[in-house]
Amino acid sequence: MKIWAKTEEFSEGKFLVVRRDGTIPTWPHFVLGARDPAVPAALRSYAAEARRRGFDEAYCASVEELASDFEVYRALRGDGDPESGPHRTDDPAIINLMRNGGRVNVASAAPETPQQP
């Protein structure tokens, strides 16, 4: 399956990105999650490019640290399946926000528990 934002059916993407002030960015975005096994390499590549462009060293180092944190998280909780199709029921109000903007109230998902050996 393509990434959701590149499909006709899910062109608004897989995730709703909300800023800390409750607004939704209008620019294109792509969310990287800790259970995706390709993400640590992507983050390290991003940090290397950011460093090459002269970004603040503390910023670059923190991106690399996040890559390591994601590896630990995935080791405890297992790999995700970033290529999978939809497996949750969409909330029509959220889809409307993704397509048309607005304000949102959110609830935290239940925390994931580490996998048993």
pLDDT at 1: 81
Residue at 116 is within a domain: no
Does 48 fall in a domain? yes
**CB of 31 closer than 8 Å to CB of 15:** yes
pLDDT computed for residue 55 by the predictor: 99
Look at phi and psi of residue 31 and say left if phi exceeds 0, alpha if psi is from -120 to 50, else beta.
Answer: beta
Position 104 scores a pLDDT of 72
Q: What pTM, to 2 d.p., does this model score?
A: 0.81
Q: Is there a domain that residue 35 lies in?
A: yes
The whole domain housing 11 covers: 4-100
Query: Would residue 117 count as lying in a domain?
Result: no
Residue of 106, 111, 116, 96 lying closest to 34 (CA atoms)? 111
Q: What is the pLDDT of residue 117?
A: 52
Number of structural domains (the chain) is 1
pLDDT at 43: 99
Residue 110 lies in a domain: no
28 within domain boundaries: yes
Residue 111 lies in a domain: no
Q: What's the pLDDT score for residue 115?
A: 67
Residue spans of the chain under pLDDT 50: none
115 found inside a domain:
no
